[in-house]
Structure 1
Amino acid sequence: MTDIERYVRAATRDNTRRSYQAAIEHFEVRWGGFLPATADSIARYLVEHAEQHAVSTLRQRLAALSQWHVSQGFPDPTKAPLVRQVLRGIRTLHPAPPKQAAPLLLQHLQTAVARFEQEALQAQQQHDLATLLRARRDTALLLLGFWRGLRGDELARLRIEHIQAEAGVGLTLFLPRSKGDREALGVQHRTPALKALCPVTAYLQWLEVAGIAHGPVFRKLDRWGNLGQAPLNSNSLVALLRGMLERAGVPAALYSGHSLRRGFATWATANGWELKSLMSYIGWKDAKSALRYIDAAQRFGDLAVLPSGQERSLIP
């Protein structure tokens, strides 16, 4: 790989690159399309998959095909009027509500953290390092992901050298890459120490018991408590999160990697955060992005009947 190719590759997020590669393979191999493609062939491709895939999936496939043509120096057939009209027709004839992760309820967060703390105390008494490591890692992952409103892939890519934490004060973390950072300048976030469910305390306790001072923050643990060197795979976070919550006796089937982020946004709205403050804290660039994460029931204030455990009180 040449230096130019290396820098070009670095300009695209790993998840985006993988999804684009899968989309191109689906068009060429599974459907039998040819590249470079014509507007007519892409329109037929959309029509044949209109009843099988959501419009968002079809849009992602078009984005991949568009990127392939542009990068190879060919005219972009996805911008043709025919393709746009077909996609508009599919959206009209096959409307579907957008899929959203359920927000992690504060009650469920408290339940899980209490369970993990109990596991940690018992593990210390029994000198069970494997259980202690798992309890401390899972607590830190949940609390940092929730209170910082991080995406799953951002949690997986956190590095110790990019975080400064001080007990009782707060922590500052730097993300070299994130979805909203279009200029790839990196973003810096701050999180305060809290009186309860504190992400700063949980993070420092995890580093102490794991004995790590550099590299990925969150890593794989095998059943014997062996701590890996590589970061958690972002694609495995959903299964990991659900497993953690199930271990704590929390119903986890509806939760995904975005549940932590949406859970914080819902909690913040219920506790009176203004939209502008929430956008600044999370890092959203526009209100439309923010509103997708906020539970609509919260906008009705005290008149709304919220699910059990979704308190309006400021817990920390």
Structure 2
Amino acid sequence: MDNKDECGAPDNRRTEPLTVGPADGPAPDDQDAVDPAALPVTLGRTGGALADPTDLIAEDAAAARRYTELSRAPSTLRAYAVDWAAYLAWCGERGFAPLPSHPAQVALFIGHQADAGLAVPSINRRLAAIAHHHRRARQPLPSAHPDAAVMEDAMAGVRRARAQESAAAPGGKRRGGKKKAATADLVRAMLDAIPESGLRNLRDRALLAFGLATAMRRSELAALRVEHLTWTRDGVDVLVPLSKTDQEGKGAVIAVPRGLRIRPVLLLETWLGASGITEGPVFRRMFKGDRPSPHPMSGEAIALVAKERASAVGLDPAAIGAHSLRSGFLTSAAESGATVFKMQSQSRHKSLDVLAGYVQDADRYKDHAGGRFL
């Protein structure tokens, strides 16, 4: 029986749905390569000219590939590359195939990495890299295997061992563990030890003061540009266009007051004025002859500055890192009575649990239950 339209005329249009195959068969070796000609396509026409379907699929594939590459930050992908290389080397030495990996094999790798001294977050990142490459190769994830519990048990054991090491170490800190917070008092001491002449000294003074005042991560300090700064009557508004917890690039604006003690805005203005920097990276590498280069400092270089300047005031440089400035802000804020919500507006932590820990540490002896009778 012929189909008819509303007027009773035969409807000869094809109404089959668009189908793109194949539904079965092996995945291509190159995950980035798409051969549109190899995909059988059935198109329903409703009249009019239709573009070549192979061209349309090629354009869609290019768009999908472009957005897939943006799904993770470049720093994450670089870290994954290092972690995957470590796993490949480990597999090669033992004659294991890296893809696919059985959970028992990954558990052995976990044990090896723990014995090598890696911290729990570093091992977790390596496991994330292994999962990432399994997905790209369209291989089943080790964590989805029925025997995945062996991996979970191995990681639970590593966490327990690290906790025991931390408790047994002097001061409750494991070697290579959490860095010392560069509080406001410590940063003031570091600034007092840096001469107020010479461009490198001016840069380091501004870096330490602004790093503390913004509570920025070292990657964010390295990426800071003059274009991200807006001077106001009360200080500087700082745009953070992208961060670890904002991979979609929504951006955040944090305020830096002029201050009366550390005076971060004044030190920043002094550095920019003396260096002649009016655009581009704020904190830059230095050429010989005390001249700023056009290139930004790396996160590692920022950490080295913090270590060097801490060493100058008698601290163990191994206990200080770039994160010390961020944790120093939170520690000082908690000690001065700031709420976790005010702290969160500056640090941009997604969870309040971490910030609550800073407040609890600061309030440990405040209104102590035994304060009136001990």
Structure 2: gaps of 5 or more residues: 1-31, 33-61, 167-173, 369-374
1:136-147 → structure 2 map (5 Å cutoff): 136-147=202-213
Could you tell me which of 48, 72, 75 is aligned with 1:12?
A: 72
Q: Give the corresponding residue for 1:37.
A: 101
Alignment-mate amino acid for residue 265 of structure 2: V
Q: 1:47 to 1:138 in 2, by over 3 A?
A: closer
Q: 1:218 to 1:283 in 2, by over 3 A?
A: same
Q: Deviations over 1:233-287 (max 9, x none)?
A: 112222122123334x342521111110111111111111112221222211112
Which has the higher Rg, Structure 1 or Structure 2?
2
Q: Give the corresponding residue for 1:307.
A: none
Would you say 1:26 and 2:94 are equivalent positions?
A: no
Could you tell me which of 181, 191, 195 is aligned with 1:113?
A: 191
Tell me by how many angstroms 1:143 deviates.
0.9
Check conservation: 2:236, 2:257, Cα contact below 8 A. Answer: yes
Task: Report the TM-score, using the length of structure 2 for normalisation.
Answer: 0.70
Q: Give the corresponding residue for 1:127.
A: none
Aligned length: 289
Alignment-mate amino acid for residue 135 of structure 1: N
Would you say 1:263 and 2:323 are equivalent positions?
A: no
Check conservation: 2:72, 2:247, Cα contact below 8 A. Answer: no
Would you say 1:189 and 2:189 are equivalent positions?
A: no
Tell me by how many angstroms 1:295 deviates.
7.6
Tell me by how many angstroms 1:160 deviates.
0.7
Would you say 1:205 and 2:270 are equivalent positions?
A: yes
Alignment-mate amino acid for residue 207 of structure 2: L
CA RMSD, Structure 1 to Structure 2 (Å)? 2.5
Tell me by how many angstroms 1:57 deviates.
2.4
Structure 1: gaps of 5 or more residues: 124-130, 305-316
Tell me by how many angstroms 1:94 deviates.
5.3
1:227-238 → structure 2 map (5 Å cutoff): 227-238=292-303
SS in 1 for 2:293: strand
Alignment-mate amino acid for residue 183 of structure 2: L
Which protein has the bigger helix share? 1
Would you say 1:155 and 2:233 are equivalent positions?
A: no
Tell me by how many angstroms 1:225 deviates.
0.9
Check conservation: 1:108, 1:250, Cα contact below 8 A. Answer: no
Check conservation: 1:156, 1:233, Cα contact below 8 A. Answer: yes
Which 4+ stretches in 1 moved above 6 angstroms?
none
Tell me by how many angstroms 1:63 deviates.
0.8
Alignment-mate amino acid for residue 108 of structure 1: L
Could you tell me which of 273, 279, 304 is aligned with 1:239?
A: 304
Question: Identity percentage over the alignment?
Answer: 24
Q: RCO greater where, 1 or 2, for CA within 8 Å and sep 6 or more? A: 1
1:167-316 → structure 2 map (5 Å cutoff): 169-247=234-312, 249-253=313-317, 254-291=319-356, 294=358, 297-302=361-366
Check conservation: 1:66, 1:77, Cα contact below 8 A. Answer: yes
Q: 1:56 to 1:282 in 2, by over 3 A?
A: closer
Q: 1:169 to 1:91 in 2, by over 3 A?
A: closer
Structure-2 separation of matches of 1:279 and 1:218? 25
Q: 1:239 to 1:263 in 2, by over 3 A?
A: same
SS in 1 for 2:237: strand
Structure-2 separation of matches of 1:240 and 1:106? 17
Tell me by how many angstroms 1:115 deviates.
3.4
